[in-house]
Amino acid sequence: MPGWHIWEAEAVQAFNAQFEPIRLRTDEDGRARVRFWPRATHQNPSGNVHGGAIMAFVDMALFAGAHQLGIRPVMKALTIDAGVQFIDGAVIGEPVDAVVELLRETGRMAFIRGLIEQQGRLIAAFNGTFRKYVPQN
């Protein structure tokens, strides 16, 4: 996948592994794009992607997208809040993208919003805040 790279966590994390490989790139408009491929393990009883899987992906996209946009380090940051508005269902087997935009960064916080898309369809909108890891001296 030209232009994409794999987002690798500093430590192996069993939960995040359910979504790997997560791919990243920066779009021409300066927003980050984070991608995963939903599998049968992400399926709900109706055969679509489970809303909980989308919400978990949103949480990962907050950090992976921020990393792609140049915020370092993000691996020890903490989610403060995240909101998701579901608009349509996502199907299994087709890539799901989070298009991530940094609204503001302060010394300790990052404020992010984005859209979840699949094959040109809008699946969800989201926003989130995370507290950056700042080592204590």
Cis peptide before 2 (omega within 30 of 0): no
Tell me: the pLDDT tens digits for 35-83?
Answer: 999 999 999 999 999 999 999 999 999 999 999 999 988 888 999 999 9
As a dihedral over the C-alpha atoms of residue 123, residue 98, residue 96, residue 11, rounded to 10 degrees, the angle is -140
Residues 88 and 119: their CA atoms lie apart, in Å, by 12
Does domain 14-131 correspond to CATH entry 1.20.1560.10? no
Going by C-alpha positions, the residue among 74, 56, 67 that lies closest to residue 15 is 56
Neighbours of 50 (CB within 10 A): 18
Domain spans in the chain, listed from the N-terminal domain onward: 14-131
| Three-class DSSP category at 48 | strand
- The pTM assigned to this predicted structure is 0.93
